[in-house]
Structures are given as structure tokens and as C-alpha cells.
A and B are shown apart, each in its own frame.
Chain A
């Protein structure tokens, strides 16, 4: 079965700094990969997804992620952090068996 590991349960950056949230996956078949964001007291909202088209995926709010098969990674980046980016971020993996599995989450703090 596929699985996801998110490195770092908490990440803190200064406003304007690069955001890098790490995600590594394990899957025996070509995966579909997702990044979701959860703002306080809200449900999960899709940021972006990889479905075997372009390896560099652009999402909402200036985020992007690159699928690297050789590294089994799907790291999320944003060039310049904004205070409104403070939230919890989840990486998820799915395959043709319809199971979606989530990582443990990374809480992003943005310092002024």
C-alpha cells in the first residue's frame, strides 16, 4: 500500500522567505499526489495535484510542487511567504485502487 512521509511537523519561516515543505511517498504503482491546506477551524482545501502530466505543478496562492520520481518526492514550495500562509499542510497519495493516504501534516508558522 502507498504511504506518505512529511519531514518536519513544524516549519517556521520569516515573511518573504522561501517556503519548503517536504513530502516523500511510497507507492508500487504510478501515484497521484496532492497537497492540501487546512486553515484554523476549517476543512481541507486543495492546493495542487500531480496526475502524471507535467512534473512541475502550479497551484493556488503561489504554491508549486515538483514530482521527482527518482527521489520519490513531491515537495511544496513558495518563493515568498506571506502571513496568510500560516496553516497546516498535508501531502496525500492516491492510486487507481482509490485509496488516499495522508501524511501527518506540517504546521507552517510565518514570522513578521
Chain B
């Protein structure tokens, strides 16, 4: 089954404790991205990657890191989480050829930073 998977689905942590949220897709998509969803703000893009070893900032990159060492994986790293990063996070992927192609979304990771 074609899908985007994220782990963990739920995470409660404390301020300053480094964490990684993994994202993997099995559709051989070049383009992958991370979003955060907050009430009243919709989805805002954190980082995106056009292909392996190519990453770029989205609209809200502060406090986050990403890496793209393999085509299928795009982990999101919070090196020193803060309470304002409490949010619902989504990973997405699509083919790179044309932004008219829709993105496929993972199930989401709900992060709480105490």
C-alpha cells in the first residue's frame, strides 16, 4: 500500500530534550515536506526537500532541523524543544515533476512540550 508513515504518533516531552520524528514514504517520491498544524492557522510548512541532500526552509523553520540522506526518509529534528512547538505535525510527499501534483500526507504526530 502506498503510504507515508510517521513515528511516533504521540509524544510528550520536556523543554530542551532533543527529539526526532521520523517520516518514511514508499512511493519513490522526490519531494518531501514537513508541516505543523495549529488551530486557526491551518498548515504551515516547516521545511521541504526536492531530493536527496537538497533541503530548504519553509515558512516556519526556526527551532527545527531536517536531513534527507535517503530518498524515502525525511526526519524532523527538534534539538531543544520549547512549549511553543507543541503542535500537530504532518509529513507529506509528492513527485517532484510539477507542483500541480497533490501531496500525500502521513497520519500526523501530536507533540506536547512541557
CB neighbours (8 Å) of A44 from chain B are 43, 90, 92, 105
Stretch of B13-21, B60-68, B75-83, B95-103 contacting A (4+ beta carbons < 8 Å): B95-103
Task: Give the distance in Å from the alpha carbon of A96 to the alpha carbon of B100 in the complex.
Answer: 8
Q: Closest Cβ of chain A: how far from B46's Cβ, in Å? A: 13
Q: Per-position contact with B for A51-65: 1 when CB-CB < 8 Å, else 0?
A: 110000000000000
Q: Are B108 and A43 in contact (CB under 8 A)?
A: yes
Q: Are B42 and A90 in contact (CB under 8 A)?
A: yes
Interface of B (DSSP majority class) = strand
Checking A42, A46, A94, A102 against B108 with a beta-carbon cut-off of 8 angstroms, the contacting residue is A42
CB neighbours (8 Å) of A100 from chain B are 33, 45, 99, 103
Q: Are B99 and A94 in contact (CB under 8 A)?
A: yes
Task: Give the distance in Å from the alpha carbon of A52 to the alpha carbon of B100 in the complex.
Answer: 9
* Chain A residues numbered 42-97 whose CB sits less than 8 Å from any CB in chain B: 42-46, 49, 51-52, 90, 92, 94-97
User: In chain B, what residue has the closest Cβ to A95?
Assistant: B99
Q: Which residues of A contact B (CB under 8 A)?
A: 6, 9, 32, 34, 36, 41-46, 49, 51-52, 90, 92, 94-105
